[in-house]
């Protein structure tokens, strides 16, 4: 079971927290209130509107949505006692009580607290009277130049004066002019201390602390720390200006003393404690405490966290932090640059479109955390002073700073301003200090590499075969084709990886099988051309070379080579700190084989209708589809160390890591005897996309899923993940690791030969003439066979997640090409979207239309109900209704259905039927809407997705997309652009209805459940 989290706040800090929490396998949904444009439409994250000033309302909302934990971002709700009120309602809250939060909400209290508990801080006095404060400034035995409003001012209530007169004016502006309102009823006059200012944050459960990497904020608006004070224009972490010895002092003398002091005073602190520190020549001085995550420090710190943030937070609120080990990335820096609106920190305009976000996000190790943004139509626009934080992660501070500045240049909006020197103080110190480096200092260990080569050599020696010249360790690998017995060979090469199956190997710490997968993926591809794999090379890339892990992986590669009959003759090990994390690696493999010129596959000219498809069993998932598999595991709150839901005798991780089957030794002899016309390796793209790769254009294949055994793992994925049948067939091998095309008369002989060699093989289908526009692979009885696979799981007394049943069953009615149907198919079948809808039926009133073929290509059932066969509209509509009921349809989409539906039918499907219309309703209803708009002289039109009502085009509006009518447009061009807009709007509308974010009320209005 996954948990729901509510984050309170709407800045970049909250976006970063939501981003990190969403990575937890234990978290299913992250709600953010009010959120921003970045938290609006993430896969696990969504915005909600709650009256945050009414804590009872917040508590009730949490109960209604089964929220496990509330995380409070800003200080105001904490100072107002939200943690206390939620706790009283029985709801866990990550954040301190009102009394503990006083360490931030009252600077006067904080300074007194530090004095009481012996925490080092600057000298100070508090005043409520202007003249008394000014007298102290003029006569104090220290430079009393730091003037602070005692209350909360969103990080802007500190004025650092240059002269005593300027300090006196600051006191007047706070106490008399009330520039900070009631937060300035008391001012703290503080000694100006000089040094490097850093931020150190820690997690705490009220008893102990877990310290985060130090960070450095940049408060001033302009470069070189000039200009007015702000909420922060950027930050980086870790900060190299503080030594490990100083960090120990900060932990014990600043953080632990504060936690112990608060506990002693009856104010136990739970959450994140933030200490603003000045590193002076006279030691450490505490400038301030905050009772929450800092902003923008959080954006630079959380990307360095390797541990599960949800688990850490839960250990804090349950008092178990001492039992939790918190891991941070090693040798890694994060630099965040704030992009702000023109006029900030004063007044500023809103609503400017922001571009370039996706370009930054497409780059490796670059992130964007939104702050003052919102969604407007399809765009993200500015909605605040600090607009967003652009963040880069890298292996050294100087290059990461440069990358962050470069990324900040890519994103644009009117009036953008940002600092180009975030991290400059640390950079200056590093450059001034000067340093010498060895290769090992930079993260590359040559000795470890030498040790690895020594470990690999005996493994490679076991794979030597005829034709190999020399041994591993040279500049290249040599192979003698004549020595291997070839007369007139063609060389065949193949390269591949193992995808995100690696992630499961890393989690399970099982590395001996992944090398077999690597060889299998390459060798089986080479075999598809009839070639015998001869030699293999591997590429192993990592952040930090761990000889034992790498040697274990390569031992698997060597084993795979033995199974494939090829020799491991070389490879490359690349240690790349800063590119990969310290415990991360990636693999690529390269296989070269040879086939005699006369024996190449596929023999496309020999294939004819009537040939038989022989299927050969897979060992399981092989190495494809693991991103989807991991999502299923996450959705069902499973651990890889738990018993597999489809095999109680093995752990889930062990089952999923079953190595890919290598077919060389069993299938190559069959190929060489001439019985095989083609061999297809069922790899990425599944059954329906791999078999066409070996077929001539005039042929297709029909398969019967009842003719082979589908392993239970596929039935489990289908049910537990709610994966549509079509998606299963285009993602997984579904039990067929490979297929052969053989002459019908020799099919029995081939199957017997394969079975004698130890393979499970079956006659699974036939080759037939292709039909124009039809899918090249038809699979019958697949749903039944998959259900049989899933039934076997249930018989083992495992409870499966009802994820499949939670997707709304959708039928699409159409009469023509089905372009909008295609948009709906693309959306609902994309595993990344995690759609709440599944298209299970397509109905047309006209046979043979292209829309039916679109559905058939992805194995969606179709039906033709010819309206001409019915005496009136009502009888036709009731026939359609009966078909929908029989298919257990929950939502109906009209996608170019050229029939006017009766009021009776509309009433039956009220609130469950949606349509797309090519205008911005209520303008231009009825037919020829595009022409109506084009000829009317309006400059903007578009499309509208709406609920269907008895009034034509009169139902409640779900989604609209605008389309400008440009000067020089033709009707055809305009129609095409409107159609493109429909392809965006219709899936959005379906998602809103399927997820029940939009529900039609009895009076015909929409109830929005945001």
- The active-site residue, picked from 370, 511, 529, 917, is 917
Query: Alpha-carbon distance 556 to 784, whole Å?
Result: 37
CB distance 794 to 800 below 8 Å = yes
Residue holding tokens 């004066």?
A: 161
CB distance 148 to 158 below 8 Å = yes
Q: Which residues of 50-87 are buried (b: 16+ CB within 10 A; e: fewer)?
A: bebeebeebbebbeeeebbbbbbbbbbbbbbbbbbbbb
347 by DSSP, 3-state: which? Answer: coil
DSSP conformation letters of 45-102: EEE----TT-HHHHHHHHHHTTEEEEEE-SHHHHHTTHHHHHHHTT-EEES--HHHHH
Q: Tell me the residue ranges of DSSP E strands in 530-566.
A: 532-542
Q: Is the dihedral of CA 599, 600, 602, 608 positive or negative?
A: negative
Q: Tell me the residue ranges of DSSP E strands in 84-155.
A: 92-94, 124-127, 146-149
Q: Tell me the residue ranges of DSSP E strands in 265-352.
A: 271-280, 283-290, 333-340
CB distance 71 to 5 below 8 Å = yes
Query: Alpha-carbon distance 120 to 129, whole Å?
Result: 27
Q: Is the dihedral of CA 981, 982, 987, 990 positive or negative?
A: positive
611 by DSSP, 3-state: which? Answer: coil
Known catalytic membership, residue 424: no
Task: Give me 351's structure tokens.
Answer: 């609503």
Q: At what angle do helices 929-936 and 971-994 cross, to 10 degrees?
A: 120
End-to-end Cα spacing for the chain: 23
Task: Give me 656's structure tokens.
Answer: 């999923």
593: nearest Cα among 660, 662, 539, 664? 664
Q: On the CB side of 444, how many CA atoms lie within 13 Å of its CA?
A: 12
Residue holding tokens 């929409």?
A: 1006
Task: Give me 610's structure tokens.
Answer: 């009537």
CB distance 632 to 717 below 8 Å = yes
Task: Give me 415's structure tokens.
Answer: 């009036």
* 27-34 β-sheet, strand order: 45-47, 27-34, 3-9, 67-72, 92-94
550 by DSSP, 3-state: which? Answer: helix
Query: Alpha-carbon distance 459 to 2, whole Å?
Result: 44
The CA distances from residue 238 to 582, 645, 713, in Å, are 16, 42, 44
593: nearest Cα among 537, 523, 662, 660? 523
Residue holding tokens 């590499």?
A: 449
Which residues are known catalytic residues?
917
């Amino acid at each position: 079971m996954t948990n729901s989290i509510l984050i309170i706040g709407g800045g970049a800090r909250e976006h970063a927290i939501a981003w990190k929490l969403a990575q937890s396998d234990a978290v299913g949904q992250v709600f953010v209130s009010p959120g921003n444009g970045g938290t609006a439409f993430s896969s696990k994250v969504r915005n909600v509107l709650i009256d945050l000033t009414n804590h009872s309302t917040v508590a009730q909302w949490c109960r209604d949505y089964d929220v496990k934990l509330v995380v409070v971002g800003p200080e105001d709700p904490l100072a107002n006692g939200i943690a206390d009120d939620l706790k009283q309602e029985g709801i866990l809250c990550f954040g301190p009580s009102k009394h503990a939060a006083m360490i931030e909400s009252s600077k006067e209290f904080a300074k007194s607290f530090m004095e009481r508990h012996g925490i080092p801080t600057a000298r100070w006095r508090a005043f409520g009277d202007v003249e008394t404060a000014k007298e102290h400034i003029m006569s104090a035995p220290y430079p009393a130049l730091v003037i602070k409003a005692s209350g909360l001012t969103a990080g802007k209530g500190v004025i650092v004066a240059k002269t005593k007169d300027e300090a006196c004016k600051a006191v007047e502006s706070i106490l008399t002019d009330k520039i900070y309102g009631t937060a300035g009823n008391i001012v703290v006059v503080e000694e100006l201390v000089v040094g490097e200012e850093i931020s150190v944050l820690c997690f705490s459960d009220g008893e102990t602390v877990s310290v985060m990497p130090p960070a450095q904020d940049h408060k001033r608006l302009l470069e070189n720390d000039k200009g007015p004070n702000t909420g922060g224009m950027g930050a980086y972490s870790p900060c190299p200006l503080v030594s490990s010895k100083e960090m120990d002092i900060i932990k014990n003398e600043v953080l632990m003393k504060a936690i112990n002091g608060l506990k002693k005073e009856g104010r136990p602190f739970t959450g994140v404690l933030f200490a603003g520190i000045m590193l002076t020549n006279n030691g450490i001085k505490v400038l301030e405490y905050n009772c929450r995550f800092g902003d923008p420090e959080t954006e630079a710190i959380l990307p360095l966290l390797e541990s599960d943030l949800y688990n850490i937070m839960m250990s804090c609120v349950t008092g178990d932090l001492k039992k939790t080990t918190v891991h941070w990335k090693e040798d890694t820096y994060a630099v965040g640059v704030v992009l702000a609106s023109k006029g900030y920190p004063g007044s500023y305009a809103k609503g400017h479109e922001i571009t370039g976000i996706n370009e930054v996000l497409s780059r490796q190790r670059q992130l964007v955390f939104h702050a003052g943004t919102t969604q407007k139509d399809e765009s993200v626009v500015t909605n605040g002073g600090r607009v967003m934080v652009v963040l880069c992660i890298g292996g050294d501070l100087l290059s990461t700073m440069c990358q962050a500045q470069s990324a900040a240049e890519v994103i644009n909006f009117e009036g953008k301003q940002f600092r180009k020197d975030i991290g400059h103080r640390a950079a200056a110190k590093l450059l001034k200090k000067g340093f010498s480096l060895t290769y090992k200092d930079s993260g590359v260990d040559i000795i470890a590499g030498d040790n690895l080569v020594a470990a690999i050599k005996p493994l490679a020696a076991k794979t030597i075969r005829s034709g190999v010249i020399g041994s591993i360790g040279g500049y290249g690998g040599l192979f003698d084709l004549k020595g291997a017995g070839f007369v007139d060979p063609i060389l065949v090469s193949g390269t591949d990886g193992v995808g995100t199956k690696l992630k499961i190997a890393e989690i399970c710490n099982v590395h001996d099988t992944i090398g077999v997968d690597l060889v299998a993926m390459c060798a089986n591809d080479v075999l598809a051309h009839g070639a015998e794999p001869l030699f293999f090379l591997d590429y192993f890339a990592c952040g930090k070379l761990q000889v034992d892990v790498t040697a274990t992986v390569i031992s698997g590669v060597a084993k795979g080579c033995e199974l494939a009959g090829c020799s491991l003759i070389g490879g490359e090990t690349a240690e790349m700190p800063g590119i990969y994390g310290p415990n991360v690696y990636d693999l690529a493999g390269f296989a070269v084989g040879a086939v005699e010129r006369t024996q190449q596959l596929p023999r496309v000219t020999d294939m004819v209708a009537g040939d038989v498809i022989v299927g050969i069993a897979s060992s399981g998932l092989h190495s494809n589809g693991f991103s989807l598999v991991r999502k299923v595991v996450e959705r069902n709150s499973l651990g890889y160390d738990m018993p597999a839901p489809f095999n109680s005798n093995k752990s889930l991780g062990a089952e999923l890591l079953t190595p890919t089957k290598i077919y060389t030794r069993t299938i190559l002899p069959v190929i060489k005897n001439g019985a095989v016309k083609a061999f297809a390796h069922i790899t990425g793209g599944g059954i329906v996309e791999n078999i066409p790769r070996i077929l001539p254009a005039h042929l297709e294949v029909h398969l019967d899923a009842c003719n082979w055994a589908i392993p239970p793992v596929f039935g489990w994925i289908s049910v537990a993940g709610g994966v549509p049948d079509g998606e299963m067939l285009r993602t997984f091998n579904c039990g067929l690791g490979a297929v052969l095309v053989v002459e019908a008369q020799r099919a029995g002989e081939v199957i017997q030969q394969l079975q004698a060699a130890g393979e499970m093989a079956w006659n699974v289908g036939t080759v037939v003439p292709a039909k124009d526009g039809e899918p090249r692979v038809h699979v019958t009885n697949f749903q039944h066979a998959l259900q049989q696979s899933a039934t076997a799981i249930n018989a083992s007394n495992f409870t499966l997640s009802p994820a499949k049943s939670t997707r709304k069953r959708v039928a699409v009615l159409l009469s023509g090409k089905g372009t909008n149907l295609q948009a709906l198919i693309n959306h609902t079948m994309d595993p990344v979207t995690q759609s709440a809808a599944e298209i299970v039926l397509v109905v047309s009133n006209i046979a043979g239309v292209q829309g039916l073929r679109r559905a058939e290509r992805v194995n969606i059932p179709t039906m033709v109900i010819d309206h001409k066969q019915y005496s009136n509209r009502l009888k036709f509509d009731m026939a359609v209704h009966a078909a929908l009921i029989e298919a257990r349809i929950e939502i109906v989409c009209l996608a170019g259905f050229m029939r006017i539906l009766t009021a009776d039918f509309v009433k039956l499907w009220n609130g469950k039927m949606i349509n797309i219309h090519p205008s911005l309703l209520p303008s231009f209803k009825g037919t020829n809407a595009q022409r109506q708009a084009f000829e009317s002289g309006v400059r903007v039109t578009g499309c509208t997705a709406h609920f269907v009502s008895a009034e034509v085009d009169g139902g409640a509006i779900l989604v609209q997309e605008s389309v400008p009518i440009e000067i020089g447009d033709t009707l055809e061009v305009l129609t095409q652009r409107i159609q493109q807009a429909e392809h965006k709007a219709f899936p959005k509308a379906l998602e809103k209805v399927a997820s029940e974010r939009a529900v039609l009320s009895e009076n015909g209005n929409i109830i929005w459940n945001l």
